Amino acid sequence: MSERLQIAIIGGGIGGLTAALALRARGLSVTVFEQASELREMGAGVSILPNATCLLQRIGLTGGIEKIGSPITGLVMRTSVGEVIYTSTTPSTGIQSYNVHRAEFLKLLADTQPEGTLHLGHRLSEARETNDRVRLTFSNGAIVNSDVVIGADGIHSAVQREIGLKTYPSSEGVMAYRGLIPTEKLSWAKDIGGRVSRWNGKGRSFICYPVSSGRLMNMVAFVPTNLDSEESWTAPGDLKALSAEYAGWDDPVLETIGALDATFRWGIYDRVPLPHWSAGRMTLLGDAAHPMVPHLGQGAAQAIEDGFTLAVFLEGAKQQDVPRRLKAYEQIRIERTSLIQKLARDAGKFYRAEYETAAERDHLMAQWTQWRASTEWIRGHDAEKAAKGAFVLAKDAGSI
- pLDDT tens digit sequence for 166-211: 888 877 788 899 999 999 999 999 888 899 999 998 889 999 999 9
Cβ atoms of 173 and 226 within 8 Å: the answer is yes
Please list the active-site residues.
209
> How sure is the predictor about 363, in pLDDT bands with cuts at 50, 70 and 90?
confident
Q: What is the largest CA-CA distance in the chain?
A: 71
Count of other CB atoms within 10 angstroms of residue 64: 18
| Whole-structure pTM value | 0.94
Q: List the end-to-end C-alpha distance of the chain, in Å, as a whole number.
A: 22
Strands (E), the chain: 6-10, 29-33, 45-48, 70-71, 74-79, 84-89, 98-101, 118-119, 124-130, 133-138, 143-146, 148-151, 170-182, 195-201, 204-211, 216-224, 235-236, 264-270, 282-284
Note the pLDDT of residue 90.
72
Contacts for 363-367: CB closer than 8 Å, 24+ residues apart? 365/85, 365/86
pLDDT digits (tens, 9 = 90+) for 205-217: 999 999 999 999 9
Fill in the amino acid letter for 102: R
Please state which architecture CATH assigns to domain 6-168+271-397. Answer: 3-Layer(bba) Sandwich (3.50)
Residue 230: pLDDT over 60: no
CB 123 within 8 Å of CB 301: no
388 closest CA partner among 320, 302, 321, 329: 329
Q: Is the CB of residue 23 less than 8 Å from the CB of residue 326?
A: no
